[in-house]
């Protein structure tokens, strides 16, 4: 822990500010490559996928997931932010980071989110474990905020087990129709000729990265019902409708509720404003370069439109009905309202 920058006194530390000194790397594939090679495989939308414990994981995440499952040691005050890709990860990371660091930056102009992309502030576990960089997580002071795209059933037993101390998990989900649209725009930054209809088919078949999406969402929904003290379930659309309300829930869940004095001083509104789509998209840091563990993706690709319902501009009514019906069918009897 000695190598950590000493200027940080409270709240989570931006991951990129943690000095990784000589942390040795051992890419997970060196250790678990043969396990990965034996798994069923598909090539979808330019990504090599492997079927691991019921989910289609990008090939380069599988070995890291095995390391995550076997070796991750949670701390009691860790918070893991979980999501299906393109469902609000970047926003949730910003909101959680801003909420947890609010004491450290009473002057908002100094806040790290003004100079760093949210993905540079919070480590993305799936890439960290794939790259064999998990020793760097040990150097991150508590309370740690981390994120993953893994479904709840693939999280380590040390996090989810009934008999372990574990840690807290916050999940954000989104209307799958808007997720597909967002994912298509994101993937097109690398594959400009990817047909929307092709990606849509893969999503409906369930064979898309970390899919099927309905099983992903249900894994966290069920966990949130079983352990509401440990798993908070949020929706992107609800965040859009009343961000402040859900920032309060998030703060309370993470053990840092806003005090009456903070409420009076407008601390909730300050977090909401700092993390708003317009604010984040307009920052210089989010207009250039590429983001942390998402190294291959430009930072501006995480801020496109930031609305609910953009699917109407990309799908036929028949496509929308088809995906809605698949999801409704899967959610039936679970208590979870389909979009």
Ligand X SMILES: Nc1ncnc2c1ncn2[C@@H]1O[C@H](COP(=O)(O)OS(=O)(=O)O)[C@@H](OP(=O)(O)O)[C@H]1O
Where in the sequence numbering do the catalytic residues fall? 149
Cα–Cα distance measured from residue 247 to residue 229, given in angstroms and rounded to the nearest whole number: 16
Answer for which of 89, 117, 160, 219 binds ligand X (CB under 6 A) is: 89
255/309 with CB nearer ligand X: 309
Q: Which stretch binds ligand X (CB under 6 A): 9-17, 27-35, 86-94, 212-220?
A: 86-94
166/246 with CB nearer ligand X: 246
- Minimal distance, residue 297 CB to ligand X, in Å: 7
93/166 with CB nearer ligand X: 93
Size of the site for ligand X (CB under 6 A): 22
Answer for which of 232, 306, 319, 327 binds ligand X (CB under 6 A) is: 306
Answer for which of 248, 304, 314, 322 binds ligand X (CB under 6 A) is: 304
* Residue 22 CB-density burial (10 A; 0-12 exposed, 13-18 middle, 19+ buried): exposed
Cβ neighbors of 124 (< 8 A, separation 6 or more) are 146, 147, 148, 292, 293, 294
CA angle 155, 38, 123 (to 5 degrees): 30
- Minimal distance, residue 106 CB to ligand X, in Å: 22
Decide: is 302 part of the binding site for ligand X (CB under 6 A). Answer: yes
The residue with tokens 């319902």 is: 309
* Residue 114: strand, helix, or coil: helix
Decide: is 227 part of the binding site for ligand X (CB under 6 A). Answer: no
Helices (H), the chain: 28-37, 59-71, 89-100, 118-121, 125-130, 135-138, 157-160, 176-188, 196-205, 213-226, 236-241, 243-253, 260-265, 267-274, 277-282, 317-331
Q: Are strands 294-298 and 231-235 parallel, antiparallel or unpaired?
A: unpaired
Q: Contact letters (x/-) for ligand X, 31-70, by CB under 6 A?
A: ----------------------------------------
Decide: is 287 part of the binding site for ligand X (CB under 6 A). Answer: no
**Are the beta carbons of 54 and 153 closer than 8 angstroms?**
yes
Decide: is 160 part of the binding site for ligand X (CB under 6 A). Answer: no
Answer for which of 87, 203, 232, 272 binds ligand X (CB under 6 A) is: 87
Decide: is 272 part of the binding site for ligand X (CB under 6 A). Answer: no
């Amino acid at each position: 822990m000695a190598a950590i920058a000493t200027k940080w006194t409270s709240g989570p530390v931006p991951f990129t500010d943690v000095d990784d000194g000589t942390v040795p790397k051992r890419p997970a594939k060196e250790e678990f490559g043969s396990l990965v090679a034996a798994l069923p495989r598909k090539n979808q939308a330019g990504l090599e996928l492997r079927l691991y414990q019921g989910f289609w994981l990008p090939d380069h995440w599988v070995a890291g997931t095995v390391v995550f499952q076997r070796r991750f040691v949670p701390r009691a005050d860790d918070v893991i932010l979980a999501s299906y890709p393109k469902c609000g990860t970047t926003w949730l990371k910003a909101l959680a980071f801003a909420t947890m660091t609010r004491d450290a930056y009473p002057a908002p102009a100094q806040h790290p989110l003004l100079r760093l992309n949210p993905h540079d502030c919070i480590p993305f576990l799936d890439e960290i474990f794939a790259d064999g960089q998990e020793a760097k997580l040990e150097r991150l002071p508590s309370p740690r905020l981390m994120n993953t795209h893994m479904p709840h059933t693939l999280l380590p037993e040390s996090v989810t087990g009934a008999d372990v101390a574990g840690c807290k998990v916050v999940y954000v989900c989104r209307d799958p129709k808007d997720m597909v649209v967002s994912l298509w725009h994101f993937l097109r930054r690398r594959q400009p000729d990817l047909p929307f209809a092709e990606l849509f088919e893969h999503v409906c078949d369930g064979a898309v990265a970390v899919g099927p999406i309905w099983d992903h969402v249900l894994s966290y929904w069920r966990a949130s019902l079983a352990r509401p003290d440990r798993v908070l379930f949020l929706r992107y659309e609800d965040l859009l409708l009343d961000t402040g309300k859900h920032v309060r829930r998030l703060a309370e869940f993470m053990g840092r509720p806003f005090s009456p004095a903070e409420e009076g001083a407008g601390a909730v509104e300050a977090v909401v404003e700092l993390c708003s789509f317009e604010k984040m998209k307009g920052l210089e840091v989010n207009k250039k370069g590429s983001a942390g563990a998402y190294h291959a993706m430009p930072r501006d690709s995480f801020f496109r439109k930031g609305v609910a319902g953009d699917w109407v501009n990309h799908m036929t009514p028949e496509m929308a009905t088809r995906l809605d019906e698949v999801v409704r069918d899967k959610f039936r009897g679970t208590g979870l309202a389909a979009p």
